[in-house]
């Protein structure tokens, strides 16, 4: 049985309800949250008098398991519960007997990493600020992938299963659009998920497209299967056409009046094409004013280039003409470069950190004048651990309302000389660390041992194995100063052979440290996800971030860590460049000559490892001093670094970032 209910009588906003959701959607509430906020947000998007923005992203990491969680009155479908993770450590006997289980709802698996989480955090801050925005993405029915460590290959990749129709808050609408792929019309169902503000007074609807429908032929049902499936170029083109064309058509089918189309990465480029196909050259010129583009990476592989011969299988002659006119690659006229296309057709173009802006200008000098920099952030209410929420609330008289305005966290600086605050901060951190030691108790992880983590996508420029270059040196350090606990996590894209090899190298190094387990414990967690992301960024003592400069556009995991008082240990790249004088930890390693990019494959492992160990020694000595003596702890500078970290969160957050986007790009007056 299915029924339709109408939230707003005057418009055709209908949700399709399977029998499962009747309990959860009532006259006034949506999974217990106020439905009024939904109606208000929908009305604004439907109104031609309110300026609104459609934000396009291939992936969304909404942190649905850790923030504003919708709880269904129905029992959770086991397919939507996080799978247990295996561990690969240098205490191998424990790996055989124990897994890590956190029987939480899985984060809606339509993201792969930083880009998606940024999109999710942006939605949440837009909601907090009450901005009329709608997100557009794809309902990946097979998520990204399941990872399994394997000493021979590094990682094994398998298909992920989840059940969208039973995912709390995710609603299939009775609305469809279609997109032509070659000769076939592929039907796409529209789903919605509502992203509530912290105070639940506003929402951002997220529109998700799904080709997994019985009326589609089998090959087409899989098009919205696996995120970033890139077995061949045709797949990549088709997935991008679904996002761009399907997205624009879905917005129209929903009746939304959109003033600005915000394309994230070249992935969303075809949204412009769909709007342009029926227009004259003059009109296309005018259309550019309503398009904005954000470039998220300086890495070569991040810039889509597609062969015209392949594009012809998916687009018609007229469409190809427009692509050629605005996007022909500079080095190869048989390719369309989606980054160039976006830079040409969007009136506004931005990079995601100051440094990334400089790098993008070097890479695309023709657009130098146009490229702005808006530094990334994280959504503070999502990434603040429970014990830090309590801490911030205890000192709210000094800090101010940090939920309402994340920039207030800057005020933590005023507590630098407050001994009680310093003690409370140390205790709050210890509580977080206890969550980690509890999770890893079978591996004898302790809360009084120096703990450092590296967790992010495994790909060469991020240099997963830098700290393990010279394990003898690490053993020496541990003997001299104190034991070390190291946690690693991260997936490599299934087609990233070098990234997969890095994981294999990591596992080999871990094995080689089996004899040193009393001095150094190394633990890797399978299937890094938002749940682990939040846990690790809040619970370790030091966050290691060692990309090869200048290839990290921004990076956001370190921002999650500073929010929770976790000291930074980083190369000078991405967001860290903007915090380099704030004394938030140690900065080390190679820095490219001003105005030069260097070479992405020249990883400088030897010299940077050397500089890493020198700095690590200082950090460890300082940590153990603070750990072992209450007096030293209050004055040796460790806690001061923790405080500086939190204060920097007053800037590195999506609340500040969304305000900048609004000022420079979106220009919505609420
Ligand atoms: C924050 C986060 C990332 C991004 O980390 P970077 O350091 O920016 O690469 C990736 N994956 C997960 C699960 C995260 O939480």
SS (H, E, C) 228-273: CCCCCHHHHHHHHHHHHHHHHHHHHHCCCCCCEEEEECHHHCHHHH
pLDDT at 277 over 90: yes
CA distances from 347 to 274, 341, 403, 516, 581 (A): 17, 12, 33, 57, 34
- Read off the tokens for 318: 């007229």
> Measured between alpha carbons, how far is 388 from 381 in angstroms, rounded to an integer?
10
The rounded Å distance from CA 239 to ligand 1 centre is 23
- Ligand 1 atom nearest 532 alpha carbon: 13
Going by CA atoms, what residue is nearest to atom 4 of ligand 1? Answer: 114
The rounded Å distance from CA 512 to ligand 1 centre is 28
- Ligand 1 atom nearest 537 alpha carbon: 15
Task: Categorize the per-residue pLDDT at 15 as very low, low, confident or very high, splitting at 50, 70 and 90.
Answer: low
Going by CA atoms, what residue is nearest to atom 11 of ligand 1? Answer: 113
- Ligand 1 atom nearest 545 alpha carbon: 7
The rounded Å distance from CA 492 to ligand 1 centre is 13
Phi, psi of 300 (to 5 degrees): -45, -50
> Measured between alpha carbons, how far is 273 from 336 in angstroms, rounded to an integer?
13
**pLDDT given at position 670:** 63
- Ligand 1 atom nearest 554 alpha carbon: 8
In percent, how much of the chain has pLDDT > 90? 93
| C-alpha gyration radius of the chain | 25
Going by CA atoms, what residue is nearest to atom 14 of ligand 1? Answer: 533
The rounded Å distance from CA 538 to ligand 1 centre is 13
Q: What is the mean pLDDT of the chain?
A: 94
The residue-averaged pLDDT of 41-56 equals 96
Which helix (H) or strand (E) segment holds residue 545: the answer is strand 542-545
The rounded Å distance from CA 163 to ligand 1 centre is 24
Q: Which of 556, 561, 652 to mutate to test the pocket of ligand 1 (most atoms within 8 A of CB)?
A: 556
The residue-averaged pLDDT of 494-523 equals 97
Q: Which residues contact 282 (CB under 8 A, 6 or more apart)?
A: none
Work out the widest C-alpha separation in the chain, in whole angstroms. 75
pLDDT at 14 over 60: no
The rounded Å distance from CA 237 to ligand 1 centre is 26
Buried b (16+ CB within 10 A) or exposed e, 428-447: bbebbbebbbebbebbebeb
The rounded Å distance from CA 383 to ligand 1 centre is 12
Going by CA atoms, what residue is nearest to atom 1 of ligand 1? Answer: 557
**pLDDT given at position 115:** 97
**pLDDT given at position 186:** 98
Q: Which of 65, 116, 117 to mutate to test the pocket of ligand 1 (most atoms within 8 A of CB)?
A: 117
- Ligand 1 atom nearest 530 alpha carbon: 13
192, β-bridge pairs: 171, 207
Task: Categorize the per-residue pLDDT at 23 as very low, low, confident or very high, splitting at 50, 70 and 90.
Answer: confident
Tokens 């990234």 locate to 499
> Measured between alpha carbons, how far is 219 from 585 in angstroms, rounded to an integer?
51
- Read off the tokens for 508: 């080999």
pLDDT at 8 over 50: no
- Ligand 1 atom nearest 533 alpha carbon: 15
- Ligand 1 atom nearest 378 alpha carbon: 1
The rounded Å distance from CA 63 to ligand 1 centre is 12
Per-residue model confidence as pLDDT tens digits over 545-569: 999 999 999 999 999 999 999 999 9
Task: Categorize the per-residue pLDDT at 1 as very low, low, confident or very high, splitting at 50, 70 and 90.
Answer: very low
Q: Which residues line ligand 1 (CB under 6 A)?
A: 113-114, 117, 456-457, 528-530, 533, 555-557, 560
**pLDDT given at position 13:** 38
Q: Which of 352, 454, 455 to mutate to test the pocket of ligand 1 (most atoms within 8 A of CB)?
A: 455
The rounded Å distance from CA 544 to ligand 1 centre is 12
Tokens 């009046």 locate to 257
The rounded Å distance from CA 549 to ligand 1 centre is 17
The rounded Å distance from CA 608 to ligand 1 centre is 22
15, β-bridge pairs: 5
Task: Categorize the per-residue pLDDT at 604 as very low, low, confident or very high, splitting at 50, 70 and 90.
Answer: very high
Q: Which of 114, 459, 571 to mutate to test the pocket of ligand 1 (most atoms within 8 A of CB)?
A: 114
The rounded Å distance from CA 621 to ligand 1 centre is 28
Tell me which long-range contacts 508-517 makes (C-beta under 8 A, separation of at least 24).
508/151, 509/465, 509/468, 509/471, 510/88, 510/89, 510/90, 511/90, 511/92, 511/151, 512/471, 513/90, 513/471, 514/90, 514/91, 514/92, 516/90, 516/471, 516/475, 516/478, 517/90, 517/91
The rounded Å distance from CA 401 to ligand 1 centre is 27
> Measured between alpha carbons, how far is 434 from 612 in angstroms, rounded to an integer?
27
The residue-averaged pLDDT of 56-83 equals 94
Going by CA atoms, what residue is nearest to atom 12 of ligand 1? Answer: 113
> Measured between alpha carbons, how far is 231 from 156 in angstroms, rounded to an integer?
16
The rounded Å distance from CA 78 to ligand 1 centre is 26
**pLDDT given at position 26:** 85
- Read off the tokens for 199: 């105070």
Closest CA to 169 of 195, 189, 143, 190: 195
The rounded Å distance from CA 366 to ligand 1 centre is 31
Beta carbons of 292 and 261 less than 8 angstroms apart: yes
> Measured between alpha carbons, how far is 91 from 442 in angstroms, rounded to an integer?
10
What are the residue ranges of helices labelled H in 72-181? 92-97, 114-128
Per-residue model confidence as pLDDT tens digits over 457-487: 999 999 999 999 999 999 999 999 999 999 9
The residue-averaged pLDDT of 277-294 equals 97
- Read off the tokens for 294: 């954000």
Specify burial of residue 626 (Cβ count, 10 A radius: 0-12, 13-18, 19+). buried
- Ligand 1 atom nearest 112 alpha carbon: 11
Helices 605-628/638-648 angle, 10° precision? 110
**pLDDT given at position 231:** 82
Q: Which of 557, 558, 570 to mutate to test the pocket of ligand 1 (most atoms within 8 A of CB)?
A: 557
The residue-averaged pLDDT of 493-515 equals 97
pLDDT at 4 over 90: no
- Read off the tokens for 363: 């890479």
Going by CA atoms, what residue is nearest to atom 5 of ligand 1? Answer: 557
pLDDT at 397 over 80: yes
pLDDT at 12 over 70: no
Distinct helix (H) and strand (E) counts, the chain? 24, 24
DSSP string of 318-359, one letter each residue: HHHHHHHHHHB-SS-TTEEEHHHHHHHH-SEEEESSHHHHHH
Signed CA dihedral, 328, 330, 334, 339: sign only: negative
Q: What is the pTM of this model?
A: 0.96
Specify burial of residue 324 (Cβ count, 10 A radius: 0-12, 13-18, 19+). middle
**pLDDT given at position 656:** 98
Going by CA atoms, what residue is nearest to atom 7 of ligand 1? Answer: 557
Tokens 């439907």 locate to 46
Task: Categorize the per-residue pLDDT at 22 as very low, low, confident or very high, splitting at 50, 70 and 90.
Answer: low
- Ligand 1 atom nearest 529 alpha carbon: 13
pLDDT at 419 over 60: yes
Going by CA atoms, what residue is nearest to atom 8 of ligand 1? Answer: 555
Per-residue model confidence as pLDDT tens digits over 305-345: 999 999 999 999 999 999 999 999 999 999 999 999 999 99
């Amino acid at each position: 049985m299915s029924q339709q209910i109408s939230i707003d009588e005057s418009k055709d906003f209908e949700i399709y309800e399977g029998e499962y959701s009747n309990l959860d959607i009532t006259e006034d509430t949506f999974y217990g949250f106020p439905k009024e906020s939904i109606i208000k947000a929908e009305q604004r998007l439907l109104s031609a008098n309110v300026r609104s923005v459609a934000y396009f992203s291939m992936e969304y990491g909404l942190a649905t398991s850790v923030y504003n969680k919708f709880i269904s009155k129905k029992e959770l479908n086991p397919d939507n519960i996080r799978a247990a993770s295996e561990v690969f450590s240098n205490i191998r006997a424990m790996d055989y007997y124990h897994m890590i289980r956190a029987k939480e709802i899985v984060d809606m698996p339509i993201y792969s990493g930083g880009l998606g989480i940024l999109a999710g955090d942006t939605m949440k801050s837009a909601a907090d600020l009450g901005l009329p925005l709608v997100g557009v993405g794809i309902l990946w029915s097979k998520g990204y992938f399941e990872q399994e460590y394997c000493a021979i290959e590094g990682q094994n990749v398998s298909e992920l299963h989840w059940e969208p129709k039973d995912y709390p808050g995710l609603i299939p609408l009775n609305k469809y659009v279609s997109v032509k792929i070659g000769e076939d019309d592929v039907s796409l169902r529209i789903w919605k998920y509502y992203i509530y503000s912290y105070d639940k007074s506003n929402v951002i609807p997220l529109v998700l497209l799904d080709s997994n429908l019985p009326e589609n032929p089998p090959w087409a049902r899989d098009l919205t299967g696996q995120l970033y499936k890139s077995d061949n170029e045709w797949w990549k083109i088709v997935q991008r056409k679904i996002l761009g064309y399907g997205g624009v058509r879905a917005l129209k089918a929903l009746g939304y009046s959109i003033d600005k189309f915000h394309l994230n990465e070249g992935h969303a480029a075809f949204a412009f094409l769909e709007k342009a196909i029926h227009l004259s050259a003059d009109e296309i010129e005018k259309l550019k004013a309503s398009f904005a583009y954000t470039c998220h990476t300086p890495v070569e592989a991040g810039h889509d280039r597609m062969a015209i011969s392949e594009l012809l299988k998916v687009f018609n002659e007229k469409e190809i003409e427009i692509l050629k006119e605005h996007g022909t690659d500079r080095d190869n006229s048989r390719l369309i470069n989606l980054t160039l296309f976006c830079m040409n057709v969007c009136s506004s173009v931005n990079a995601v950190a100051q440094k990334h802006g400089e790098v993008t200008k070097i890479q695309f000098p023709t657009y130098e004048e146009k490229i702005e920099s808006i530094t990334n952030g994280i959504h503070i209410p999502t990434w603040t651990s429970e014990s830090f929420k309590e801490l911030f609330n205890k000192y709210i008289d000094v800090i101010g309302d940090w939920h309402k305005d994340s920039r207030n966290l800057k005020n933590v600086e005023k507590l630098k000389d407050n001994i009680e605050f310093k003690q409370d901060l140390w205790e709050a951190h210890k509580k977080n660390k206890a969550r980690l030691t509890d999770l890893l108790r079978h591996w004898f992880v302790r809360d009084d041992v120096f703990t450092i983590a590296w967790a992010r996508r495994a790909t060469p420029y991020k240099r997963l194995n830098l700290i393990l270059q010279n394990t003898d040196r690490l053993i020496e350090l541990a003997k001299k100063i104190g034991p070390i606990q190291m946690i690693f996590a991260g997936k490599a894209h299934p087609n990233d052979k070098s990234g997969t090899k890095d994981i294999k190298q990591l596992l080999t190094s871990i094995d080689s440290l089996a004899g040193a387990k009393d001095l150094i414990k190394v633990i890797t967690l399978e299937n890094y996800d938002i749940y682990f992301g939040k846990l690790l960024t809040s619970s370790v003592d030091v966050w290691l971030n060692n990309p090869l400069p200048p290839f990290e556009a921004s990076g956001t995991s370190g921002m999650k860590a500073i929010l929770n008082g976790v000291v930074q240990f980083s190369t000078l790249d991405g967001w860290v460049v903007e915090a380099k004088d704030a004394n938030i930890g140690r900065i080390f390693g190679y820095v490219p000559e001003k105005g030069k990019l260097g070479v992405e494959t020249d990883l400088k492992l030897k010299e940077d490892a050397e500089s890493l160990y020198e700095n690590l020694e200082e950090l460890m000595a300082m940590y153990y001093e603070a750990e072992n003596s209450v007096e030293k702890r209050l004055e040796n500078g460790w806690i001061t670094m923790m405080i500086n970290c939190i204060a920097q969160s007053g800037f590195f957050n999506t609340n500040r970032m969304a305000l900048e986007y609004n000022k420079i790009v979106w220009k919505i007056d609420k």
